[in-house]
């Protein structure tokens, strides 16, 4: 390549500075609001930069905001996020699960997934799944590793557009919330 040609940009996420958290501050789970998007975006970007999850644009977050639960602490800091995205009558995906790095291991991840599962039950969706590198975490919550072929619609809708399609480290994990006859 000519030395006069400069690349347009380096494809790497900028470091994210998350707000400081007060250890021990009380917190609660609630549905997300538009005012949460900047903090959700930062949290996901923080973990995407560490290669734990896929980055989401603010546009994607606004468009899918009704999928989201968040955990907020009493100081107004967002400590975690999760989305439940319905794919079909019998299947929903857990996405964008992230907990603030300074509040890990306190049960927040479990609370978020349980909130998403409760919503799935409320909506009558019997099976939830995730694509993840956090197999052990999901195993603790009753998820089992399954075959990617179990999710043809998911593969069609999202993986087809993913640049890491041929080099994906994530495994599919599934939890049946309600047994139904096929």
Nearer to ligand COA, 110 or 180 (CB): 110
Give the nearest distance from C-beta 82 to ligand COA in angstroms: 8
Q: Which of 78, 97, 115, 174 binds ligand COA (CB under 6 A)?
A: 97
What's the distance, Cα to Cα, between the start and end of the chain in Å? 57
Closest CA to 92 of 176, 2, 4, 6: 176
Is there binding between residue 107 and ligand COA (CB under 6 A)? Answer: yes
Residue 140 touching ligand COA (CB under 6 A): yes
3-state secondary structure of 59: helix
Nearer to ligand COA, 46 or 119 (CB): 46
DSSP classification of residue 178 = S
Sort 28 into a burial class: Cβ within 10 Å, 0-12 / 13-18 / 19+: exposed
Instruction: Examine residue 137 and tell whether it contacts ligand COA (CB under 6 A).
Output: yes
Nearer to ligand COA, 90 or 102 (CB): 102
Which range, of 15-23, 30-38, 107-115, 152-160, touches ligand COA by CB under 6 A?
Answer: 107-115
Cα distance between residue 80 and residue 156, in whole Å = 28
């Amino acid at each position: 390549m000519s030395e006069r040609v400069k690349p347009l940009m380096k494809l790497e996420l900028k470091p994210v500075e998350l707000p400081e958290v007060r250890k021990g501050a009380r917190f609660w789970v609630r549905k997300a609001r538009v005012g949460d998007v900047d903090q959700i975006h930062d949290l996901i970007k923080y973990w995407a930069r560490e290669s734990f999850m896929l980055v989401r644009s603010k546009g994607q977050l606004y468009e899918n905001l009704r999928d989201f639960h968040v955990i907020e602490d009493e100081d107004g800091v967002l400590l975690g996020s999760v989305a439940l995205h319905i794919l079909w009558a019998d299947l929903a995906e857990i996405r964008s699960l992230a907990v603030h790095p300074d509040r890990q291991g306190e049960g927040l991840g479990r609370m978020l997934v349980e909130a998403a599962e409760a919503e799935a039950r409320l909506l009558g969706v019997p099976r939830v799944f995730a694509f993840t590198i956090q197999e052990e975490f999901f195993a603790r919550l009753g998820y089992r590793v399954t075959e990617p072929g179990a999710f043809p619609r998911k593969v069609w809708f999202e993986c087809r557009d993913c640049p890491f399609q041929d080099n994906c480290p994530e495994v599919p994990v599934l939890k049946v919330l309600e047994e139904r006859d096929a």
